[in-house]
Structure 1
Amino acid sequence: MDHVDILIVGAGIAGLRALYSLRGAGFDVRVAEASDELGGVWNHNRYPGARCDVESYDYSYSFSSELEQEWTWTERYPRQPEILSYLNHVADRFDLRKDITFNARATSADYDEEAARWNVAFEDGSRLSCRRLILCLGQLSAPKTPDYPGQERFRGETIVSAQWPRREIDFRGKRVGIIGTGSSGMQMTPVIAEVAERVTVFQRTANYSVPAANAPLTDEEIHEVKANYAARREMTRNSPTGLGFQPGKVRTLDVDPQEREKVFEAAYNRYGFGFALAYPDILLDPEANAVASEFLRRKIGERVNDPEVRAKLLPVTHGFGTRRPTVDSGYYEAFNRGNVELADIRATPIVEFTETGIRTAEKDYPLDFIIYATGFDALTGALLKPRITGRHGLTLKEKWARGPITQLGLGTAGFPNLLIVGGPGSPTVLSNVMVSTELQVDWLTDLMKTLRAEGIEEIEVSPEAEQAWNAHVAERVSETLYMTADSFYNGGEVKGKPRVFMPYSGGVRHYRRLLETCATGGYSGFELRKTPLARTEEVRDAR
């Protein structure tokens, strides 16, 4: 069995950043990546139209001013190929590949209490022992597919958007069914509609979307960003979302309706996902949310010609932002094409798959392709795929049976020397993930250096700390409207999953301050042991 100081599982945005920082701090680090390529979500989500909903210059690493100056983004919202090229450039620029083992899918991790080490097994039968195990498995990286009668009978091709084939898919002259209207479904629909004979979008829940207002970056914009990167980074770190702008200061209903309309209009045509920041109480106050939601429904309606289709596309089951909204490029306008139709499967559910397509309660849809754009088992799905066993044979799946519980989203009691980046209990999917990831990785790197300097063999979350953090996460979300709708934020979109709000809604800025307080307090909430608990006299006497 090979031995390393630190094993990082996952070579996406978080894993690459952790490798760079920890290796730079002098640790013996290895990254295990299940795929044959790096990039995480941007490696696997290669569907037509895949694009980030955060502006490109903010969706980039901040650790190297040289990297900032040498890499030039081409669009305001980068497409998947450009983001993947960027991540590959980072890996090559900083020689990260030499410490990444590809095609290494972790199947289990067992904590050896006496040795205070994790023993990790991989799909190919190999094993690796590490002092610290850091999971960088992603928040939206465990795709879920619905279970409909007769799926195995369909004779056409079935594709999962989050596991898109690398080969070219030719939709010309084909009949394509897209199940799902989250980001993936909304992004791919107008692109596929340009070439397919017919596209049928199977919609369960109408969602809110704001135009991306995407465009190529001009030379002047590129120069402005590169000249002011430091100030822009500071702004994102001190914002609640990690985006490059701050929320408004005045409450929604304290503004004259005509003035509010102007603010909404400007945000709608420029801010994308940041429309939620037009006023500070849009996600906090039901009346403010209702006003914003009505504005967006009106704007959606203006983009769709057919009144019947328009009515079905208007989201009425939830308020704006309570489910993750999307940023689109021509999604609603696609329904003005003669070759695009909408199947409302809330009103007329899917009955079964047939050999030639999908049958709903209303009609048969003949199809050549069926695409599952049905989202993810978010935040915990990827973490619970490997069997992770901590103290006394307790698995992480058993520990989190009623919902995830962590200290600051970074670790959980009973699983010493195990740390998580982008896990439940951190800002993660409610923020620019690049900013919150770098924040966590820098904090973890400082923690690792402290453990090394002080000769700490074992670090473990205290049960009291994780209980207190869970209560704080619940308290903060109770101040918002997030629990008024079923969403991947709260497990409401996976059958049988505990309905618990998982990310931290207190904002990136406040979360950063809490991390700083934890560190300056001697890493409060974590027990730091020079001798592993299993080797202490008290434990030996108890045996």
Structure 2
Amino acid sequence: MSRSVDVDVVVVGAGFAGIYATHLLRNSNGLSVRGFERGSDVGGTWFWNRYPGARCDAESIVYSYSFDDDIQQEWTWSERWATQPEILRYIGFVADRLGIRESYSFDTEVASISWDDEAGIWTTTTADGAHTTSRFVITAVGCLSASQVPGFKGLDDFAGEIYHTGSWPHEGVDFSGKRVAVIGTGSSGIQCIPMIAQQAEQVTVFQRTPNYTVPARNRSLGVDETALIKRIYPTLREKVRETPAGVIVKPPIGSVLDLSPEEARAELDRRWAQGGPTFVNAFTDTMTDRAANEITAEYVRERIRETVKDPRKAELLTPDNHPIGTKRICVDTDYYATYNRPNVDLIDVRSNPIERIGSRGPVVNGEEYPCDILVMATGFDAITGPLLRLGITGRDGWSLNEAWEEGGKSYLGLAVAGFPNLFTVTGPGSPSVLTNMIVSIEQHVEWISELLSTMEREGIQRIEAAPEAQSEWVDRVNAIADQTLYPETASWYMGANIPGKPRVFMPFAGGIDNYREICRQVAASGYEGFLTADGTASTSPKAFATATIA
């Protein structure tokens, strides 16, 4: 049985992924699209993360769309590492050029997405009770959009102002003359602490785990440099797609264990001076061999001790409980030097956790630290969190939360067994957060678009991941991760920052270049690993191809 639908496709989210999906499916596939976005405008992650110092850790010239040459020729980036306001302006510029907003309902939160197996359609229900039916649903909610606020006792009793970096006030926050407590020293904390310290009377940082961070070495992009980049953009984009992380990177010079200490030090010096996260890619064995990793890690520790004058602070800021690179490497501007300021203090909450939030501030080891403003730089329920908050229910009333009780499982990070015609852009099991997200987004959206074209051409009504293929893919993702040092660390890649969340390494660590080829092979084989049904005689999927992974 089938019945008419309101639109062909519902897209959830209006960030980079949602904008491109909406554009491509409307203009290339000729489908009707309705988008839903809980924010008041486009931007996704960059709409919400407006905290002071927010920047991208991929260089601006490649953290941008490649699908439209007119757009990349017309837009000019001002800096090597773009700020949040500039990225948000860019997203708005693209949305204007493509007429994206006309397809979206803004200030609209999705409450549930439910599959009707008999009719073969999805019903998306928004918080205001409105329903939209569609053949397909594409989630474009991003990997870092579900803010994590620890359940501190007494938080509601705090008399001051509370802000989370992942949901920052659009009007900004005035820290002048204020005592500020910052909880968390991950990427957002590392970026905002130096900026807040320049304005506040006093900043007290509460750190559980010190993280490795490398200097950004940000600079303006000159007119001649920009002109050159625009001339070579087609070649540059192609080269970027062929790299493991989707970024411009100097190749590693070999195994650090085969080099003399002087040679290794010289290469690390060069990369430290250059700046950026590719510092970690100096050697071929940094992420696979603990002894090799320790050479790069100790180099950063030495830099911390050189920079931070107070030995107590320097020791607290020195990471010692995880290999470098196994947590997302941070990129900073004057982060370590900020702790030399007389108005910045550092409190260790690993040995003595925060007991509660008092009316005047955080309480540690019986002492209350008074503050006027509390900044929660406490990160996100990453990758699976945004999807689990959508209330998705698939075949036989099976919820995504039930399907993922043991961790996020999907086929290629694109489809989930038991959830027909649902596609997850940069879902668990795809390269996503280990890469330049724009490169991964474009690859996913284009692959989905090609799949929908095939379904239309061949009269296929529904498609979903085969359970066997999904299981094999999950095993493959884990096997690749096990060849690296990633699983040794309790990181948000593993879901370790969320109490009760299953500890599963979620991204595909084999590189976007290899992953792209795998996806190409799956499509070329007739979408191997997927199940389909024509929607006319039976509601039970039948094998479209063998459910194995090449």
Give the structure-1-normalised TM-score.
0.97
Instruction: Note the C-alpha offset of 1:537.
Output: 11
How many Å separate the matches in 1 of 2:441 and 2:191? Answer: 25
Secondary structure of the 1:7 match is strand
Q: Which moved more, 1:152-161 or 1:355-364?
A: 355-364
Pairing partner for 1:494 from 498, 509, 530: 498
* Equivalent pair of 1:133/1:418 in contact (CA under 8 Å): yes
8 A contact 1:461–1:527 mirrored in 2: yes
Q: Per-residue deviation at 1:364?
A: 2.4
Partner of 2:26: 23
Instruction: State the match for 1:150 in structure 2.
Output: 154
Equivalence for 2:9: 6
Partner of 1:541: none
Note the C-alpha offset of 1:377. 0.4
Aligned to 1:472: 476
Match of 2:170 in 1: 166
Task: Check if 1:99 corresponds to 2:97.
Answer: no
Deviation at 1:220, TM superposition (A): 2.2
Structure 2, unaligned runs of 5 or more: 543-550
- Assess if the C-alpha contact under 8 Å between 1:180 and 1:372 holds in 2: yes
Q: Which residue does 2:269 correspond to in 1?
A: 265
1:350–1:358 CA contact under 8 A, matched in 2: yes
State the one-letter code of the partner of 1:170.
D
Q: CA-to-partner distance for each residue in 1:268-299, whole Å, 9 max, x for gaps?
A: 22241111211121111111101110011111
In terms of mean alpha carbon deviation, does 101-110 or 119-128 score higher?
101-110
Distance 1:535 1:31 in 2: 27
The 5 A counterparts of 1:57-456 are: 57-361=61-365, 363-456=367-460
Partner of 2:411, secondary structure, is coil
What runs of 5+ residues in structure 1 fail to find an aligned partner? 539-543
Structure 1 pair 440–109 and aligned structure 2 pair: CA distance change class (3 A)? same
Question: Residue in 2 aligned with 1:481?
Answer: 485
Cα distance in 2 for partners of 1:59, 1:289 equals 28
Moved over 6 A (4+): none
Give the C-alpha shift of residue 458 in structure 1.
0.5
Residue 532 of structure 1, CA deviation: 6.1
Amino acid at match of 1:178: V
Q: What amino acid maps onto 1:345 in structure 2?
A: V
Separation of aligned partners in 2, 1:537 and 1:176: 57
Measured in 2, the distance between the counterparts of 1:535 and 1:267 equals 57
Flag the 1:532–1:413 CA change in 2: closer, same or farther, 3 A: farther
- Give the secondary structure class of the aligned counterpart of 2:67: coil
TM-score by length of 2: 0.96
Percent identity over the alignment is 43
Bigger Cα displacement from structure 2, 229-238 vs 344-353: 344-353
SS of 1:518's equivalent in the other structure is helix
**Aligned residue type for 1:259:** E
Q: Quick one: distance in 2 between partners of 1:7 and 1:148?
A: 37
1:230-263 deviation digits (Å, cap 9, x = unpaired): 1211111000111112531511111122111111
Can you list the C-alpha shifts for 1:91-131, whole angstroms capped at 9, x where unaligned? Answer: 00111111111122111111111111101100011100000
Q: How far did 1:528 drift?
A: 2.5
Which amino acid is 2:22 matched to?
L
Equivalent-residue separation in structure 1 for 2:92 and 2:113 (angstroms) = 28
Tell me by how many angstroms 1:2 deviates. 6.4
Classify the secondary structure of the residue corresponding to 1:510: helix
Distance 1:536 1:205 in 2: 49
Alpha-carbon distance between aligned partners in 2 of 1:300 and 1:243, rounded to the nearest angstrom: 26
Instruction: Output the CA distance in 1 between the equivalents of 2:152 and 2:119.
Output: 47
